[in-house]
Amino acid sequence: MPLRDKLLKALEVHRDTPVSGQALATQFFVSRTAIWKAVNELKSQGYQIESAPNRGYQLAHNDDHLSASAISRYLDRPCPVYAFDTVDSTLNEAKRRLGDEKCFLIVADSQTAGRGRRGRQFYSPKGSGLYLTLAMPLHFSVEAAPTITAYAAVCVCQAIETLTGKQGKIKWVNDVFLDGKKICGILTEASTSLESGMIEAVIIGIGINVNSCELPEDLKDIVGFLQPDIPIRNRLAAEIANKLLAFSQKQSTFLNDYRARSLSIGRRVRCTVGSETFLATGIGIDATGGLIVRTDDGKERTLHSGEAKLI
C-alpha cells in the first residue's frame, strides 16, 4: 500500500485528534520528510488536512472527500471498497469486476455516464453527490427480484434519517424524495444462473444528491438535495452498505416501512407498462413490492415493472 494511502487511513482512524509527524514517521518506518510529502500529495488530491506546530496533522472536520479507508472505518463487516474520482458509472465498474469478486462497494465523486431507469441519464457532477454501487451474493428466486430495489429504497431512507434526522419518501419503485423533490435514484441488476434459474448476485446502483450545485434547466424544478449540516458522504455510503448487506435478515419485515414511506399510495399516477399508458390511483404495495393501483374503470392491477409518475 502506498505511503499516501497508509497515511490517509491513519488520519481517518484519528480523525478527532491531531497526529504528530514524528509519530506517523515512526509508525510507517519513514522519515518526517516522507510524511510531509505524502500529506502534500493528499492535499493536491483535494483532501483538507490541517497542520500546526507541535500538534501534527488532522483531517479537517469539513473534509468530505470520498475515501475507501474512511468508508471502511464505518462498515459493520469486511467488504472491499473502491473509491474513484470519476468513472463512467459505478454500476458499469461493478459489472466489470463482478467476475473476480462477489461482494464489494464502488463509490465515485462523479460519473460521466451515470444511468437511471429506462436508459435515462443520471446527472452526476463532481463533489455534489454520492454515487455508489454495492455488489453482493444472494440466492433467491427471480420472482422475488423486485423486492431488492424496494428494500434498497428503504435502506437509503433509513440511512439518511439516522445521519440527518430527515425523513425521505419513496415514489414507486426506486426514487427517494425529500420536501417534494427527487434526491435519489436506484437501479438494480441481477446475475442469474441458467442452470438453477435462481439469482446468484445483485448489483445495486444508487445516486444521491447530497450537496447543492448548479443544475441544468430541465432539472431545477424536480431535483432536490439532502443538504446535511456536516460532511456525511463517507458515513452515508457505509450506512447504506451496512443496511443492504443485512437483506437476508430484513427481507420479511421491510415492506411495512416501505408502505409507510410511500408517496404513491393514495395518489393519482400515470402508469406506463410497455406501450400501454393509463391513469390510476395507487392503493397499496403487495408482498413483492409491486404497486397496486385502481384504474379509472374500477379495476385493480398490480405493477411489477414499468413506471408510475405522480400527477
Domain total in the chain: 3
Domain end (from 240, 261, 282): 261
Q: Say yes or no: 255 and 291 in one domain.
A: no
Q: Are residues 190 and 289 in the same domain?
A: no
Q: What is the CATH number of the domain that holds 284?
A: 2.30.30.100
pLDDT of residue 99: 78
Indicate if 137 and 210 belong to the same structural domain: yes
223 and 296 part of one domain: no
90 with 235, same domain: the answer is yes
Strands 81-87 and 104-111 come out as parallel
Domain carrying residue 272: 268-310
Task: Say whether both 130 and 162 belong to one domain.
Answer: yes
Please write the tens of the pLDDT for every residue from 213-244: 989 998 999 999 999 988 899 999 999 999 99
- Asked if residue 292 and residue 228 are part of one domain, the reply reads no
Residues 153 and 218 both lie in one domain: yes
- Give the pLDDT score at 251: 64
In sequence order, what E strands does the chain have? 49-52, 56-59, 81-87, 104-111, 129-141, 169-171, 175-178, 181-192, 198-209, 268-273, 276-285, 291-295, 300-303, 307-310
194 and 236 co-located in one domain: yes
pTM of the predicted structure, to 2 decimals: 0.86
Instruction: Give which of 254, 309, 258 is closest to 282, Cα–Cα.
Output: 309
- CATH code for the domain of 47: 1.10.10.10
Phi/psi at 26 (5° precision): -65, -40
Pairwise CA distance, residues 11 & 51, whole Å: 12
The CATH number that applies at residue 233 is 3.30.930.10
Q: Give the tens place of pLDDT for each residue, 12-55.
A: 878 778 999 999 999 999 999 999 999 999 988 788 899 888 88
Q: Is the same domain home to 104 and 232?
A: yes
Stretches in the chain below the pLDDT threshold 70: 118-119, 142-144, 194, 248-252
The answer to whether the peptide bond before residue 39 is cis (omega within 30 degrees of 0) is: no
Q: Which of 15, 42, 59 is the last residue before a domain boundary?
A: 59
Domain final residue, candidates 38, 59, 80: 59
129 shares a domain with 170: yes
Same domain, residue pair 28 and 148: no
